[in-house]
Structure 1
Amino acid sequence: MINITVDDKGVVQLLKRIEQKMGNMRPVMRVIAGIMHDAVEENFEKEGRPKWKPLKKSTIKQRERKGHWPGKILQVSGQLASSVTQKATSTSAIVGTNKKYAAIHQFGGEITQAARSELFVRSRYVRGSKKTGTKRGQFKKGTKEGRGFTFRERHIVIPARPFLKLDDKTLDEIRNKLLEYVTKV
C-alpha cells in the first residue's frame, strides 16, 4: 500500500499538542481520512491539481483503438481510482491504494521491457463436426507453421502524476477540523 505522509510542520505540531491533551483521537482521524480521500477523488476527477502531464499521442491512439478514448488520464478501467481506501487509527489518518502499478503513476519512472521472441500462430485448423462428416483437427490448405517475431528491449518513461496529493486548501481544512475538535473537548 502506498501511504502519503503529511510533512506540513504546522499540522504535525498541532497533532502532537492535541495528542498530549487527549487520548482517543480516532473520531477526528476518521474525519481527516475522509477529507484526504475526497481530495484524492478530486485529483482523479480534475486530472491533477496542478494538472498532470498530458498523455502521449501514441497512448491516445492506443486507447482510441480499444474504445477507451476520449477519457481521463489515469482512468482506463477505473480500477486505480476505485482502489483508493482510507483508514483511521487513534494516531493516524491513512489514504492509500493496494495496486502495484500505483507507485509508477504517483512517482513516475522508467519501465524496461526485456527483449523477447514470440511465435504467432493464426487460426489455421479446419473446424467441423462428427455429425457432418467434415474433417476436424486438420490444417487448412496453404497454411504454414507459425511465424516468429523478435522484439528489442524497450524503455517506457512514465511521468509522475501524483494522485495521492493534498493541496493547500485541503491542508487548511484538516487544520480547521483539528482545531474544531480540540475546542469541542
Structure 2
Amino acid sequence: MHQALERLAQSLCHRQPLMMHTLSEDLYDAVMENFKREGHPRWLPIDRAGKILQQSGRLAASIDSEADNDQAVAGANVVYARIRQQGGTTRPHTIRSRYNKVAAL
C-alpha cells in the first residue's frame, strides 16, 4: 500500500508524461479534426472552391503540440494563425495577384 501511494505521489509531481502523451496529443487530434470537419461549430462559408482555411495546407501543416509539467498546448507557428482564430484587422497592405493574373472586380 505504501509503494502504491508513493507512486501516486510521484505521478502527481511529474506530470509531463501525462501532459505529453495524453493531453497534448488529444489537443492536436481535436485541432486536426476541426480542420477535417471545417469547424465545430462549422466555420463561415467561403466564396471559392475548396476546404475552408486549407487553400495551400500551410496552416494545418503548421499545427503542433507540446507539453511540460504544468501544461499541454496545441497551436500553429504561422503569423496569420492568430487572426484566423480570434478575428480582428490587419494594417493596410497591397494585395498583388499571383502569376501576373488580373483580378476581376
TM-score tier by shorter-chain length is 0.7 to 0.9
- For residues 114 and 37 of structure 1, the distance between their equivalents in structure 2, rounded to whole angstroms, comes to 33
1:49 is aligned to 2:28: no
Moved over 2 A (4+): 110-115
Higher helix share: 2
Higher strand share: 1
Report 1:22-101 matches (<5 A).
22-30=12-20, 31-55=22-46, 57=47, 60=48, 69=49, 71-101=50-80
Report percent identity of matched pairs.
39
- For residues 81 and 110 of structure 1, the distance between their equivalents in structure 2, rounded to whole angstroms, comes to 21
Q: How does the TM-score come out when normalised to structure 2?
A: 0.72
Q: CA deviation at 1:34?
A: 0.1
Report 1:12-31 matches (<5 A).
22-30=12-20, 31=22
Q: CA deviation at 1:104?
A: 1.1
Q: How does the TM-score come out when normalised to structure 1?
A: 0.43
Q: Name the SS of the counterpart of 1:111 in structure 2.
A: coil
1:111 maps to which residue? 90
Q: CA deviation at 1:114?
A: 4.8
